[in-house]
């Protein structure tokens, strides 16, 4: 086949190439053109090669002479502009620099952040719960303790639907409720807390996939409703809500521990990352309460409230020697182990938070003050005839005309007129100061929630009638606990003891907060008068205790409804001590709004005092100081007031 002349155009030459060579060469040339159009580094290195190969195939002699000369291809002589090459180099360098910078940022500058984020995905801090401390009485008897229970958790993806019915039955919950809880998107859901050990064991026997139990605890109160207002209760998170559980919550709670672990994607613990910090369990709180006396007081109070169809009642029992609270009972009460139907009336700790006009139980204060100032003696005579006494436009009445009688008899028969005359012979400021010394108008120093202070109006605002009525318990307000504390001064040498509910050895040793409010001689005189009040002719005969000499003061205070006093609604009170030879106990009783004809303090509250005091003295092993006799039946006696 003849050669193609050298001056023949490229187009002509290409047209003479056999078709089988065009099939290979043409794509190579096109590819080279495409690569060149994008000006990328691949074009610089590969484009000329591909283009040369294609052009060579197209310009070979038709006789396939391997040594035939090849015409120059324009692609082979193409060159990139210098600025484009520099730009490519700069871009490549910038890319590598950014990668290096990012690596430095992640590995060095912001290392702690990314380490923390990584740890969050697998490392967990598990809080180790501290066991809540116990509450015990003065003898170590249990009043509150934490029992081991369990939380039941479920993994919805693993829990079979057929297991819903038996599981719901064991958990005492509707099947629909259980199904609803495990129907969400959560990987782990809580089914129930505080499940007892027996129920948890039955669940384990079912061997259900996706069910896990976690250790938990539940507070248990052995004394139930008898000590509910003292001990209080906790919520489901074990935080104190009422009573000692609240006031001593910090002591009881302890300090939780910590455990840092690594978990896998299924939440299983693989290993610990550091030694665990053990939990510090809560302290045991020792109360001054005597569980036996507490049960006795509550039982007698409950019986009396039911007997007189009263709204409520309270009993406070103090150790006369130091002011320690041996019992503090209220009715209505509640079961702290089952609070599903708890009401506000049941929850109210009336002996501590309720204030009211104390009535005649406050009369010994003004008598003692008059004795201390030398204005009268126990045998001084005072005239109460004709049974009423006018003070300006107001009139003070006694239940009957007692005529002339001694100061001791005036307290025995609870004469309002005698006390009004004594009060008006004293400066108002002197009476107010003495009430303050006794703690009236100030909250007792008791670590307990809701302790009431009561109220005594400033003396500068007293009118003569108010000065008189405050002497026999109207125009001021106190709590039952405050009244019981007042009587600690008369049980001993005239020293007022602070009340306490938790044992405190340091405080018991120092007793620096005691205050002498009257002289020992006056205290002894008041004790003698109080003993007369429970004897023949006194208002508190129903408070007597066989085998023991007792003394006390009755009180019957009208209840205030709105701005006026109700005619047929009362609070019946009795406060006393025993045995009178060496007082060991002070017992205060209040029955709120008794129904029926019996409403006087001596009739309603006196028998409760008798039962509680007699039983408590026997429990404490206090020897009798009087012969056991039949109940007295005096022909004449003073009316209960």
Residues acting as catalytic residues? 360
What is d(CA 445, CA 317) in angstroms, rounded to the nearest whole number?
17
Residue 578 forms beta bridges with which residues?
Answer: 585
Write out the two tokens for 615.
């039983």
Angle of helix 520-533 relative to helix 363-372, nearest 10 degrees?
140
Q: Which helix (H) or strand (E) holds 126?
A: strand 123-128
Alpha-helical segments (H) within 82-153: 82-104, 111-122
Nearest one of 324, 325, 318, 314 to 350, comparing CA atoms:
314
What is d(CA 163, CA 166) in angstroms, rounded to the nearest whole number?
6
In degrees, rounded to 5, the angle at the alpha carbon of residue 386 between the alpha carbons of residues 380 and 388 is 95
Residues whose CB is less than 8 angstroms from the CB of residue 254 and which lie 6 or more positions away in sequence, other chains included: 130, 131, 132, 133, 279, 280, 281, 282, 283
The residue assigned the tokens 């204060």 is 365
Classified as helix, coil or strand, 495 is strand
Residue 30: CB atoms within 10 A of its CB come to: 13
CA distances from 272 to 213, 257, 261, 275 (A): 21, 14, 4, 7
The residue assigned the tokens 């302890």 is 254
What is d(CA 132, CA 279) in angstroms, rounded to the nearest whole number?
11
Residues constituting the chain: 641
Q: What is the DSSP letter of 227?
A: G
What is d(CA 381, CA 360) in angstroms, rounded to the nearest whole number?
20
What is d(CA 611, CA 628) in angstroms, rounded to the nearest whole number?
15
Q: Which helix (H) or strand (E) holds 533?
A: helix 520-533
In degrees, rounded to 5, the angle at the alpha carbon of residue 423 between the alpha carbons of residues 418 and 429 is 175
What is d(CA 401, CA 409) in angstroms, rounded to the nearest whole number?
13
Q: What is the DSSP letter of 117?
A: H
* Distance of alpha carbon 561 from the chain centroid: 34
Q: What is the DSSP string of 254-270?
A: -B-EEEEEEE-TTS-EE
What is d(CA 549, CA 532) in angstroms, rounded to the nearest whole number?
10
Q: Beta strand 551-561 with 388-391: parallel, antiparallel or unpaired?
A: unpaired
Classified as helix, coil or strand, 170 is helix
């Amino acid at each position: 086949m003849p050669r193609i002349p050298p001056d023949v155009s490229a187009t002509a030459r290409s047209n003479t190439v056999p078709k089988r060579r065009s099939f290979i060469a043409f794509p190579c040339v096109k590819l080279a053109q495409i690569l060149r159009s994008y000006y990328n580094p691949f074009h610089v290195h590969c484009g000329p090669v591909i283009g040369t190969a294609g052009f060579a195939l197209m310009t070979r002699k038709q006789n396939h002479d391997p040594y035939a000369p090849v015409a120059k291809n324009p692609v082979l002589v193409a060159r990139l502009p210098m600025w484009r090459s520099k730009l490519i180099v700069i871009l490549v360098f910038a890319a590598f620099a950014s990668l290096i910078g990012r690596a430095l940022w992640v590995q060095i500058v912001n290392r702690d952040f990314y380490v923390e984020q990584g740890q969050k995905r697998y490392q967990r801090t598990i809080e180790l719960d501290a066991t809540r401390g116990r509450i015990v009485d003065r003898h170590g008897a249990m009043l509150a303790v934490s029992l081991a229970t369990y939380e039941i958790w479920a993994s919805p993806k693993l829990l079979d639907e057929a297991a819903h019915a038996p599981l719901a039955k064991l958990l005492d919950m509707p099947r629909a409720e259980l199904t609803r809880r495990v129907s969400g998107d959560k990987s782990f859901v809580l089914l129930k807390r505080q499940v007892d050990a027996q129920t948890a064991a039955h669940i384990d026997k079912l061997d259900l996939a996706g069910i896990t139990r976690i250790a938990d605890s539940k507070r248990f109160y052995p004394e139930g409703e008898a000590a509910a207002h003292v001990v209080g209760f906790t919520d489901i998170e074990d935080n104190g809500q009422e009573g000692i559980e609240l006031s001593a919550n910090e002591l009881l709670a302890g300090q939780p521990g910590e455990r840092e672990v690594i978990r896998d994607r299924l939440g299983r613990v693989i290993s610990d990352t550091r030694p665990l910090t053990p939990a510090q369990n809560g302290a045991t709180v020792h109360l001054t309460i005597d569980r036996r006396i507490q049960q006795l007081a509550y039982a007698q109070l409950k019986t009396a409230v039911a007997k007189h169809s009263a709204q409520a009642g309270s009993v406070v029992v103090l150790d006369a020697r130091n002011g320690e609270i041996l019992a503090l009972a209220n009715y209505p009460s509640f079961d702290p182990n089952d609070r599903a139907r708890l009401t506000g009336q049941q929850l109210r700790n009336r002996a501590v938070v309720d204030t009211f006009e104390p009535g005649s139980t406050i009369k010994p204060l003004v008598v003692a003050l008059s004795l201390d100032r030398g204005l009268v003696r126990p045998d001084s005579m005072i005239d109460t005839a004709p049974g009423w006494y006018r003070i300006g436009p107001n009139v003070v009445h006694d239940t009957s005309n007692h005529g002339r009688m001694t100061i001791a008899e005036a307290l025995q028969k609870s004469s309002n007129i005698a006390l009004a005359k004594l009060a008006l012979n004293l400066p108002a400021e002197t009476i107010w100061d003495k009430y303050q010394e006794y703690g009236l108008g100030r909250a007792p120093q008791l670590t307990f929630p809701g302790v009431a202070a009561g109220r005594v109006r400033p003396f500068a605002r007293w009118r003569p009638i108010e000065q008189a009525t405050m002497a026999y318990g109207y125009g001021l307000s106190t709590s039952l606990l405050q009244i019981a504390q007042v009587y600690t001064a008369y049980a001993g040498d005239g020293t007022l003891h602070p009340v306490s509910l938790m044992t405190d050895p340091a405080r018991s040793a120092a007793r620096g907060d005691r205050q002498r409010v009257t002289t020992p001689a006056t205290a002894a005189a008041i004790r003698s008068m109080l003993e007369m009040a429970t004897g023949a002719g006194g208002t508190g005969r129903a408070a007597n205790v066989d085998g023991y000499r007792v003394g006390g003061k009755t009180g019957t205070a009208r209840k205030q409804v709105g701005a006026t006093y109700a005619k047929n609604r009362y609070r019946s009170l009795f406060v006393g001590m025993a045995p009178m030879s060496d007082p060991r106990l002070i017992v205060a009783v209040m029955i709120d709004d008794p129904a029926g004809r019996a409403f006087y303090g001596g009739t309603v509250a006196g028998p409760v005092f008798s039962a509680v005091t007699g039983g408590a003295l026997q429990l404490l092993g206090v020897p009798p100081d009087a012969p056991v006799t039949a109940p007295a039946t005096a022909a004449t006696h003073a009316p209960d007031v």
